[in-house]
């Protein structure tokens, strides 16, 4: 219980930090926040600027603004977009669907590729391992935006197997999901393979073999569970890579989604939207980390002991 | 010797990229920005090895000249992040509880966000441009380095050899300079090698999104973005700039792995 | 039952097992003895076809109950493993899958060989656990290895091996990771299995364990069997020089004064020679067992280090405070050696770290050369640190990985004020003193053998000219013959340099050999202290008695000696209810 409580506090601290970061990045940087909001190209008159400033509360003391900012966030109000004149919460909710679809599809593809690669090559013939390590290295080194361009050129423009831009059927999801998944699969496969190999090198694997179990049975029944533990530590990285990768992949394939929304907001310096996205990704990170911690407890009884005692 | 050939190959691969970044004129004497509309969108051939783009510029020349900005962004961001992360990590590990708490909590927050998003926030605040791009990537990568250096410094500080040195009666400052620093820096450098590859991908990615070097100057990510509109007719525009990024990153990752293996081999 | 003739195992071009032959009959125990790297473990694994994917195994004959095992296909091997031949490994904490319950591991053996119908699996698991002496089998079967004590864990591992009813048990160092009292119980269990008709192939580096259990002994060296005979014959009348050196190198018998063994020309002759010369020094004082004069030799010497009533508590992972040492007092005089003995977790190492000034005690105080050593600022301690130096169990981790041997020793030598060219001379001198050639100067400690590394650690400890040397399990990680050499070196240095020594070990034989006085630690307290001869021959505390009785005896070889057995039991039963002793109730 103690550990779980600690994790909860740490999660809240991260969220509070992200909220403060949002506030800070708007107020502590040199220059007038109104100028940043309006962008460099604006021709707004001083009166208009003053009016905006008063409307957004920029003329009040910083501490008051900060507390107000936190208070609004706590009540679920993420503010309004300057550009689109709509509540940020709505904007994000609208775009969440396609991105979640993309992320889930990518995870499934990446896990499947990683599992197949790791189980078939871990601790096998040196040539098989060299091959596995070569593909992992290539996948890890592939920039997703280039991979997307390549797949688009080959499968959409030349082979015409998949729709070119946009579209929302399952067919439109295939190339983006693979693009997002491949670099992730490279990392997962590598970690999984190393986890399997270190588990297979431990005495309990020898005991299990000496019991009469086959190689494959030892892998599936014993080693895989140990390797899954090493995967769990990657969960945070995975969330970040999926969300960050979505920005690029959605741009390449012209898909709607959180990434496209973020990109547009950054281009227009629509800070409330940018900050909304920051908070939503921090929240996602905290929730997923907590879930993975629970999963980890289910996998490894040694940790459970520490929690109970 | 067989163990060293990937290392050798990756070094050989990196040489032309280094030359391209240092003295691009040596590899191609054409101009990377001179427009020649008559010869627009020519496929790769003997005159234009990589073909030409929509404005008739030689793609090979542009890829060669794109090496310097692309690699500099990656290297600059990595160097800044390694130095900042290294100092912050050491401060956290050796500077007492308060320093540790401040540094690590801020790192926790930044690391809960996608690195690309952190970089995008910085760009949203500071605006686009090459310098801001380097700064943005450096800020996104710093917490990772800080965390590794802190962990490594704590391991070294708690190690048997630092305890033995303490048992000899050495001063704290001598301990830090003679034993803790040199042993904590090794893993940081290994990490920085691989980190350079990641920074290169991130930098070109932001260039691809239009936040870096502005046209017509050549930069691999921006070139990919430009070529994206002509993929149906000119596949080469989508292939070569990206291949340049990928080949560099693979070579760097091989180096990083070799360094990691060597380092691990050198440790007890 | 199993017949092995001309077994050879090669990895690439290196033959790690060469032309090994032996047999084991039902109800018989053959022990294969050798130091690390002798090929004994590979031999064990080859018997179940698990020498590894890169191992090339050949044999003129390898048969079990007449069935030829050479060239067996993987599928057929699986029918042999577990069902006919069982393999018991060292530490059940890692030899049982830590993520699964003990019951699931035992059930896996049952299921793999379809020993009982599925519905009866649970009942069979419980009866197997009961058979190997695990109380409350129902509860234990649902627990994970880390939730059991070392002894119970090892019993559970044995139960999982016995599940499919193998008639030959191959036990590879089955008791090495265990405390001495638990070790005695597991040996008894293995003995009982043997009496029930199982064949037992025991792999061990420990001659004392072997003496207790084996009917015959095969001694392995560098992949080959150099001597094979009945246990009594091998231990009392060894033929091969290597066997003699192994026996000579075993630390002094803690209870009875050891029988002298005739040594011949062999690597360890040197060690036996030094040992007898060391016997003239103060170390032998302790041989006059029970004589009060033993300790009084040092009464005139000034105190080197005194710890008075020190306590230290640490926060356990669950958040509660636990005493690592609790009101512990000890002292050591110049020229004297204090042995601190106890099982793992008894607080020995914390005591050492407090003595070294690396941990501040919560209560009590420490005096070094009569002046306060605890409760003072680190600034004041720093200049005096060079007067108390340490040698640890794992020397490699105590050397900066970037440093050569020369730099390691020179860094310490610099503190005694030698500079420039003198420093190199001084380093060479120190290395010579610990028996290392000047050729190691430019090498890294990781390139040296375990014994050489420990010599470097000793040279470094001596370099600043200390008054007190704290040795924390300095020989526990070493093979016996190397162990003997390092102990001899320490004895010689102590005689020559007149330093005070605090020597910490779990091994009573080693303690007996090096100490003048001994402090027995248990559960963070010193339960008994006194001259080593008195404590070891006439222990006052039940715990000390139990500890001594549990040591496998050697070479007082008495197979199944009824008196000895019952003595052990009686001692264990009368001992205070400690977790370590009654591991049956973790």
The answer to whether the beta carbons of residues A255 and A249 sit under 8 Å apart is: yes
Q: Say how far apart CA C586 and CA C572 lie, in whole Å.
A: 16
Residue A32, sorted as left (phi over 0), alpha (psi -120 to 50) or beta, turns out to be: beta
The 3-state DSSP class for residue C55 equals strand
Q: What are phi and psi of B216, to 5 degrees?
A: -90, 5
Structure tokens at C201: 């192939």
SS3 content of chain A, % helix, strand, coil (to 5): 80, 0, 20
List C-alpha distances in Å: C330 to A8, B167, B260, C310. Answer: 47, 21, 47, 9
Q: Is the pLDDT of residue C254 over 50?
A: yes
Q: Is the pLDDT of residue A161 over 60?
A: yes
Q: Locate all alpha helices (DSSP H) within C172-303, ordered by sequence.
A: 180-195, 207-213, 231-236, 241-249, 269-278, 293-296
Cis peptide bond N-terminal to B216, omega within 30: yes
Q: Is the pLDDT of residue A307 over 70?
A: no
Q: Is the pLDDT of residue B189 over 70?
A: yes
Mutate to test the interface with C, among B157, B171, B181, B268 (most CBs of C within 10 A): B268
Confidence label for A3 from pLDDT (cuts 50, 70 and 90): low
Do the chains contact at B239 and A10, CB–CB below 8 Å? no
Do the chains contact at C400 and B266, CB–CB below 8 Å? no
Residue B215's domain comprises 50-263
Provide the terminal-to-terminal Cα distance of chain C, rounded to the nearest Å. 37
Provide the terminal-to-terminal Cα distance of chain B, rounded to the nearest Å. 23
Percent of chain A having pLDDT more than 90?
37
Percent of chain C having pLDDT more than 70?
85
Tell me, what's the pLDDT at B119? 94
Q: Say how far apart CA C332 and CA C399 lie, in whole Å.
A: 27
Confidence label for A30 from pLDDT (cuts 50, 70 and 90): low
**Residue B33 domain flag:** no
pLDDT tens for residues C299-355?
A: 778 899 999 999 999 887 667 788 889 999 999 999 899 999 988 888 898 999 999
Tell me, what's the pLDDT at C560? 36
**Residue B11 domain flag:** no
Q: Is the pLDDT of residue B172 over 80?
A: yes
Q: Is the pLDDT of residue A166 over 80?
A: no
Q: Is the pLDDT of residue C279 over 60?
A: no
Chain A within 8 Å of B96 (Cβ-Cβ)?
no
For the entire predicted model, the pTM comes to 0.80
Number of C-alpha atoms within 13 angstroms, CB side, residue B130? 17
Q: Which residue ranges make up each domain of chain A? A: 2-74, 96-268
Tell me, what's the pLDDT at C71? 82
Percent of chain A having pLDDT more than 70?
90
Do the chains contact at B167 and C402, CB–CB below 8 Å? no
Tell me, what's the pLDDT at C481? 82
Chain B within 8 Å of A14 (Cβ-Cβ)?
yes
**With 0-12 CB in 10 A as exposed, 13-18 as middle and 19+ as buried, what is B96?**
exposed
Tell me, what's the pLDDT at A39? 60
DSSP C397-420: GGS-TT--HHHHHHHHHGGGT--H
Domains in chain C, ordered, with CATH? Answer: 2-248 (3.40.50.300), 251-369+468-548 (3.40.50.300), 396-466 (no CATH)
The answer to whether the beta carbons of residues A14 and A286 sit under 8 Å apart is: yes
The 3-state DSSP class for residue C535 equals helix
User: What is the CATH number for B153?
Assistant: 1.10.3720.10
Tell me, what's the pLDDT at B262? 65
Confidence label for C203 from pLDDT (cuts 50, 70 and 90): very high
Strand partners, C367: C306, C372
**Which residues from C are below 8 Å from A202, CB to CB?**
94
The 3-state DSSP class for residue C18 equals strand
Tell me, what's the pLDDT at A309? 32
Chain B within 8 Å of C400 (Cβ-Cβ)?
yes
**Residue B25 domain flag:** no
Q: Say how far apart CA B257 and CA C117 lie, in whole Å.
A: 51
Q: Say how far apart CA C110 and CA C128 lie, in whole Å.
A: 11
Q: Is the pLDDT of residue A218 over 80?
A: yes
**Which residues from C are below 8 Å from B168, CB to CB?**
385-386, 389, 411-412, 415, 464
pLDDT tens for residues A255-265?
A: 899 999 999 99
The count of domains in chain B is 1
Q: Is the pLDDT of residue C575 over 50?
A: no
**Which residues from B are below 8 Å from A143, CB to CB?**
201, 204-205, 242, 245-246, 249
Chain A within 8 Å of B208 (Cβ-Cβ)?
yes
**Residue B9 domain flag:** no
**Residue B24 domain flag:** no
When comparing pLDDT for C246 and C358, which is higher? Answer: C358
Q: Is the pLDDT of residue A43 over 80?
A: no
Average pLDDT estimate for C135-144: 92
Q: What are phi and psi of B98, to 5 degrees?
A: -65, -50
In this structure, the number of other CB atoms found within 10 A of the CB of residue A268 comes to 17
Number of cross-chain residue pairs from B and C with Cβ atoms under 8 Å apart: 57
Confidence label for A178 from pLDDT (cuts 50, 70 and 90): very high
Residue written as tokens 């003295």?
B23
Do the chains contact at A208 and C318, CB–CB below 8 Å? no
The mean of the pLDDT values for chain C is 83
Query: Which chains neighbour B (Cβ–Cβ under 8 Å, 3 or more pairs)?
Result: A, C
**With 0-12 CB in 10 A as exposed, 13-18 as middle and 19+ as buried, what is C563?**
exposed
The answer to whether the beta carbons of residues C483 and C251 sit under 8 Å apart is: yes
Residue B94 CA to its chain's centroid (Å): 28
Tell me, what's the pLDDT at C263? 34
Q: Is the pLDDT of residue C584 over 60?
A: no
Do the chains contact at B242 and A145, CB–CB below 8 Å? yes
The answer to whether the beta carbons of residues B206 and B100 sit under 8 Å apart is: no
Q: Is the pLDDT of residue C555 over 70?
A: no
pLDDT tens for residues C391-413?
A: 998 889 999 988 999 999 999 98
pLDDT tens for residues C15-41?
A: 999 999 999 999 999 999 988 888 899
When comparing pLDDT for B216 and C441, which is higher? Answer: C441
**Which residues from C are below 8 Å from A222, CB to CB?**
97, 99-100
* C363-368: strand order across its sheet: C321-333, C303-315, C363-368, C371-372
Residue C443, sorted as left (phi over 0), alpha (psi -120 to 50) or beta, turns out to be: beta
How close A4 gets to chain B, by Cα (Å)?
A: 17
Tell me, what's the pLDDT at C394? 87
| Strand bridging mode C199-204 / C14-24 | unpaired
**With 0-12 CB in 10 A as exposed, 13-18 as middle and 19+ as buried, what is C280?**
exposed
Q: Is the pLDDT of residue A10 over 70?
A: yes
Tell me, what's the pLDDT at A33? 67
Do the chains contact at A203 and C100, CB–CB below 8 Å? no
How close B92 gets to chain A, by Cα (Å)?
A: 18
The answer to whether the beta carbons of residues C368 and C545 sit under 8 Å apart is: no
pLDDT tens for residues C449-467?
A: 889 999 999 999 999 999 9
Count of residues in chain B:
268
Do the chains contact at B108 and A158, CB–CB below 8 Å? no
Q: Among A1-5, A108-112, A116-120, where is mean pLDDT lowest?
A: A1-5
Do the chains contact at A137 and B114, CB–CB below 8 Å? no
Rounded to 10 degrees, what is the CA torsion of C12, C14, C18, C24?
A: -60
Do the chains contact at C108 and A213, CB–CB below 8 Å? yes
Average pLDDT estimate for B91-107: 91
Tell me, what's the pLDDT at B249? 95
Rounded to 10 degrees, what is the CA torsion of C311, C314, C319, C321?
A: -10
List C-alpha distances in Å: B260 to B147, B155, C101. Answer: 18, 17, 37
Tell me, what's the pLDDT at A53? 74
Going by C-alpha positions, the residue among C297, C295, C341, C330 that lies closest to residue C517 is C295
CATH class of A96-268: mainly alpha
Strand partners, C366: C307
């Amino acid at each position: 219980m103690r550990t779980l409580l600690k994790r909860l506090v740490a999660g809240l601290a991260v969220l509070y930090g992200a909220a403060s970061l949002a506030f800070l990045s708007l107020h502590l940087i040199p220059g007038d926040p109104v100028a940043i909001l309006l962008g460099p190209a604006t021709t707004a008159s001083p009166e208009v600027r003053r009016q905006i400033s008063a409307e957004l509360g920029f003329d009040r003391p910083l501490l008051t603004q900060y507390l107000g900012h936190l208070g609004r966030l706590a009540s679920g109000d993420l503010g309004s977009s300057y550009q689109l004149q709509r509540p940020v919460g709505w904007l994000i909710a609208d775009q969440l669907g396609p991105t979640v679809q993309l992320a889930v599809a990518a995870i499934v593809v990446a896990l499947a590729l990683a599992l197949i690669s790791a189980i078939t090559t871990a601790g096998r013939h040196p040539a098989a391992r060299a091959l596995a390590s070569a593909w992992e290295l290539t996948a890890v080194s592939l920039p997703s935006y280039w991979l997307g361009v390549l797949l688009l050129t080959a499968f959409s423009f030349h082979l015409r197997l998949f729709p070119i831009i946009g579209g929302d059927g399952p067919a439109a999801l295939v190339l983006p999901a693979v693009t997002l998944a491949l670099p992730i699969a490279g990392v997962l496969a590598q970690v999984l393979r190393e986890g399997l190999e270190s588990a297979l090198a431990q005495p309990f694997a020898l005991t299990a073999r000496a019991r009469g179990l086959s190689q494959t049975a030892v892998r599936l029944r014993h080693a895989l569970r140990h390797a899954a533990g090493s995967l769990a530590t990657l969960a945070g990285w995975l969330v970040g890579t999926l969300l960050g990768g979505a920005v690029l992949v959605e741009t390449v394939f012209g898909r709607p989604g959180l990434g496209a929304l973020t990109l547009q907001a950054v281009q227009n310096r629509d800070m409330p939207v940018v900050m909304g996205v920051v908070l939503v990704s921090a929240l996602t990170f905290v929730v997923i980390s907590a879930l993975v911690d629970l999963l980890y407890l289910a996998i490894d009884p040694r940790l459970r002991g520490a929690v109970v005692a | 010797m067989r163990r060293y050939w990937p290392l050798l190959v990756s070094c050989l691969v990196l040489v032309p990229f280094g030359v391209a970044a240092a003295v691009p004129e040596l590899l191609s004497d054409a101009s990377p920005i001179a427009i020649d509309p008559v010869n627009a969108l020519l496929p790769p051939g003997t005159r234009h090895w990589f073909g030409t783009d929509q404005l008739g510029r030689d793609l090979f020349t542009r890829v060669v000249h794109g090496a310097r900005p692309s690699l500099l962004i990656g290297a600059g961001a990595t160097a800044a992040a390694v130095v900042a992360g290294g100092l912050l990590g050491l401060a956290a590990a050796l500077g007492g509880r308060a320093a540790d708490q401040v540094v690590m909590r801020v790192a926790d927050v930044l690391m809960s966000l996608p690195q690309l998003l952190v970089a995008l926030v910085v760009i949203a605040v500071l605006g686009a441009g090459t310098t801001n791009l380097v700064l943005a990537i450096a800020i996104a990568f710093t917490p990772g380095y800080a965390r590794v250096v802190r962990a490594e410094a704590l391991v070294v500080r708690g190690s048997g050899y630092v305890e033995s040195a303490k048992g000899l009666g050495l001063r704290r400052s001598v301990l830090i300079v003679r034993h803790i620093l040199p042993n904590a820096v090794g893993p940081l450098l290994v990490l920085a090698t691989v980190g350079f590859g990641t920074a290169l991908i991130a930098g070109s990615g932001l260039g691809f999104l239009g936040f870096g070097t502005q046209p017509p100057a050549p930069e691999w990510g921006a070139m990919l973005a430009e070529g994206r509109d002509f993929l149906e007719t000119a596949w080469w525009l989508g292939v070569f700039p990206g291949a340049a990024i990928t080949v560099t990153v693979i070579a760097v990752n091989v180096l990083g792995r070799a360094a990691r293996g060597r380092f691990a081999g050198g440790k007890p | 039952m199993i017949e092995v003739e001309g077994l050879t195992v090669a990895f690439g071009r290196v033959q790690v097992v060469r032309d090994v032959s032996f047999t084991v009959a039902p109800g018989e125990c053959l022990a294969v003895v050798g130091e690390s790297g002798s090929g004994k473990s590979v031999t064990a694994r080859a018997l179940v076809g698990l020498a590894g994917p890169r191992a090339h195994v050949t044999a003129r004959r390898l048969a079990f109950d007449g069935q030829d095992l050479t060239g067996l296909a993987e599928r057929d091997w699986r029918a042999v493993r577990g069902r006919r031949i069982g393999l018991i490994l060292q530490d059940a904490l890692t030899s049982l899958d830590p993520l699964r319950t003990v019951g699931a591991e035992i059930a896996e053996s049952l299921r793999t060989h379809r020993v009982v119908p599925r519905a009866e699996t649970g009942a069979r698991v419980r009866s197997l656990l009961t058979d190997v002496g695990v109380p409350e089998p129902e509860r234990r079967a649902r627990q994970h290895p880390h939730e059991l004590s070392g002894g119970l864990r090892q019993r559970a591992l044995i139960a999982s091996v016995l599940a499919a009813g193998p008639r030959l048990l191959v036990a590879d160092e089955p008791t090495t990771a265990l405390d001495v009292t638990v070790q005695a119980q597991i040996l008894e269990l293995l003995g009982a299995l043997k009496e029930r008709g199982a064949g037992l192939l025991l792999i061990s580096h420990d001659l004392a364990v072997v003496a207790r259990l084996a009917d015959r002994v095969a001694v392995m060296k560098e992949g080959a069997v150099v001597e094979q005979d009945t246990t009594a014959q091998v231990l009392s009348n060894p033929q091969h020089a290597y066997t003699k050196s192994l026996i000579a190198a075993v630390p002094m018998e803690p209870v009875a004064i050891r029988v002298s063994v005739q040594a011949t020309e062999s690597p360890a002759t040197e060690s036996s020679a030094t040992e007898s010369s060391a016997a003239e020094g103060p170390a032998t004082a302790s041989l006059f067992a029970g004589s009060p004069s033993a300790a009084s030799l040092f009464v005139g010497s000034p105190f080197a280090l005194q710890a008075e009533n020190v306590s230290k508590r640490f926060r356990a992972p669950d958040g509660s405070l636990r005493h690592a040492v609790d009101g512990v007092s000890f002292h050591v005089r110049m020229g004297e050696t204090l042995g601190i003995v106890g099982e793992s977790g008894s607080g020995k190492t914390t005591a050492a770290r407090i003595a070294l000034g690396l941990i501040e005690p919560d209560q009590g105080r420490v005096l070094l050369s009569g002046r306060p050593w605890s409760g003072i600022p680190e600034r004041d301690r720093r200049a005096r640190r060079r007067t108390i130096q340490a040698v640890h169990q794992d020397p490699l981790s105590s050397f900066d990985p970037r440093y050569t041997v020369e730099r390691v020793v020179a860094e310490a030598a610099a503190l005694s004020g030698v500079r420039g060219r003198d420093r190199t001379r001084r380093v060479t001198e120190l290395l010579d003193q610990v028996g290392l050639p000047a050729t190691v100067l430019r090498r890294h400690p990781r390139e040296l053998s375990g014994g050489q590394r420990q010599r470097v650690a000793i040279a470094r400890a001596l370099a600043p000219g200390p008054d007190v040397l704290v040795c924390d399990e300095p020989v526990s990680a070493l093979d016996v013959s190397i162990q003997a050499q390092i102990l001899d070196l320490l004895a010689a240095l102590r005689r020559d340099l007149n330093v005070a020594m605090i020597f910490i070990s779990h091994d009573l034989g080693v303690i007996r050999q090096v100490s003048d006085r001994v402090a027995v630690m248990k559960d963070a307290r010193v339960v008994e202290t006194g001259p080593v001869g008195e404590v070891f021959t006439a222990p006052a505390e039940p715990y000390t008695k139990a500890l001594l009785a549990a040591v496998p005896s050697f070479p007082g070889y008495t197979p199944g000696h009824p008196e000895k057995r019952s003595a052990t039991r009686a001692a264990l039963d009368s001992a205070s209810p400690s977790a370590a002793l009654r591991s049956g109730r973790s």
